Amino acid sequence: MVWLLPALFILLDRRRWALVGALWAVLSSSVVWLWWAGPTGWVATLGSNTYVWITVGLLLLLPITRSSAGHPGVGRVSSRLPNLSRHEHDA
């Protein structure tokens, strides 16, 4: 779940609060344990891999974009971050 936090923060920045709430509820639940005794059938395959499907969906639906400065980032989020590549003593 820790690896998905950046994606959830991006969704929060895009004001997708209901989606973040739903994803948080599913990811913090034990929904995959419904199929712990040996999944059979396509429904069990989908259900037992819920976390994987959510992760793949976030990976595909939240592409990395370029900020206005030309540095790789995530759109508006990266434009508000401080520029740490230049040190204060380098003038």
Residue 48 lies in a domain: yes
| 82 pLDDT tier (thresholds 50, 70, 90) | low
pLDDT of residue 65: 63
DSSP three-state, residue 65: strand
Residue 31 lies in a domain: yes
Residue 89 lies in a domain: no
Residue 90 lies in a domain: no
- For the chain, how many structural domains are there in total? 1
Structure confidence by residue, pLDDT tens digits, 11-68:
898 888 999 999 999 988 888 888 777 778 888 888 888 899 999 999 888 876 655 4
Distance, in Å, from the CA atom of 68 to the CA atom of 86, rounded to the nearest integer, reads 18
H helices, E strands: number in the chain: 5, 2
Range of the domain at 24: 2-78
Residue 62 lies in a domain: yes
Residue 68 lies in a domain: yes
Q: Residue 54, class by beta-carbon neighbours within 10 Å (0-12 exposed, 13-18 middle, 19+ buried)? A: middle
